[in-house]
Amino acid sequence: MNMPNFRPVVLCLSGHDPSGGAGLQADIEALLAQGCHAAPAVTALTVQDTCNVADFRVLDRAWVLAQAEAVLADLPVAAIKLGMLGSLEMVDTAAEIARRLPGVPLICDPVLRAGGGGALGQDEVGQAIRERLLPLCRIATPNLPEARILAELPEGSADACAERLLEHCEHLLITGGHGDEAEVHNRLYSRGDGARTFTCVRLPGSYHGSGCTLASALAGRLALGEELASAVRSALDYTWRTLRDAEAPGRGQYVPRRLPLDFGN
């Protein structure tokens, strides 16, 4: 029997990863796991595998706007998740789309580097995200290397980067997975309200699509109406489990298992 769809809709603006580890496939799987419906609009095509990115092409602005407009005209969007944008024009395109949905939470995963280190945008994209997108965001979710790029502090601590970036956005989650401590420290900063640290056991290996997974899960929790700090905790716990159960389908990084093997049974 066909039933009305009561799952919150999350509009995802991100790139396509043909390996299936990151990008829009990660968004779709993570949002399904939260009980949400993903509406994926492609911003860029990439040539990448589980090892690294070889090349990328940002789509034409008109095509991205057309995709988003088709979704907005038909579906009740409850949150917007941003991933790879890749160009100044796409940053402005994402900002234009976000302004059409005032009050809808915007979650920004500032994808600037692939897990293997390859660039996924022009050097000035980080500055444009900081100046043009962060003020529209409910929360941004950079890892520490991305936070340093956004804050223009090449050796900055998480606290130093947050101090600069909170001038632009209300909430900031800086993840600590790129360190080497036994515990990972993920820090939630809120303007005028200090910081809160969430810790988890560091898992061995490196992972392809972990940032996409976290940001999409967080977007899903916010779309469901969960309060921000609780949504951050839920998304971090879910992401850790996907990494704990990750698989190595290729020659490079592990890919998070975002859906259970018996999904749909």
- How far apart CA 73 and CA 186 sit, in angstroms, is 37
Lowest mean pLDDT: which of 2-16, 37-51, 57-71?
2-16
Rounded mean pLDDT of 119-145? Answer: 88
Question: Is 42 inside any structural domain?
Answer: yes
Q: Tell me the per-residue pLDDT of 225-247, one tens digit each, with 9 for 90 and over.
A: 999 999 999 999 999 999 999 99
Question: Is 264 inside any structural domain?
Answer: no
Domain residues for the domain of 13 are 9-245
Q: Judge whether residue 117 has pLDDT over 60.
A: no
On whether the CB atoms of residues 109 and 82 are closer than 8 A, the answer is: yes
Lowest mean pLDDT: which of 108-122, 160-174, 197-211?
108-122
How many domains are contained in the chain?
1
Question: Is 226 inside any structural domain?
Answer: yes
Q: Tell me the per-residue pLDDT of 163-192, one tens digit each, with 9 for 90 and over.
A: 999 999 999 999 987 667 779 999 999 998
On whether the CB atoms of residues 15 and 40 are closer than 8 A, the answer is: no
On whether the CB atoms of residues 30 and 222 are closer than 8 A, the answer is: no
Question: Is 167 inside any structural domain?
Answer: yes
Q: Alpha helices of the chain — where are they, by DSSP H?
A: 23-34, 61-74, 88-99, 125-128, 144-151, 158-165, 210-223, 228-244
Instruction: Retrieve residue 19's tokens.
Output: 């390996």
Question: Is 265 inside any structural domain?
Answer: no
On whether the CB atoms of residues 216 and 250 are closer than 8 A, the answer is: no
Question: Is 213 inside any structural domain?
Answer: yes
CB contact burial 51-67 (16+ within 10 A = b; e otherwise) = bebeebebbeeeebeeb
- What DSSP letter does each residue of 17-59 carry, written as one string? -TTSSSHHHHHHHHHHHHT-EEEEEEEEEEEE-SS-EEEEEEP
> Model's pTM, two decimal places?
0.94
Domain at 40, CATH number: 3.40.1190.20
Question: Is 197 inside any structural domain?
Answer: yes
CB contact burial 127-149 (16+ within 10 A = b; e otherwise) = ebbbebbbebbbbbbbbbebbbb
Question: Is 219 inside any structural domain?
Answer: yes
Per-residue confidence (pLDDT) for residue 113, from 0 to 100? 65
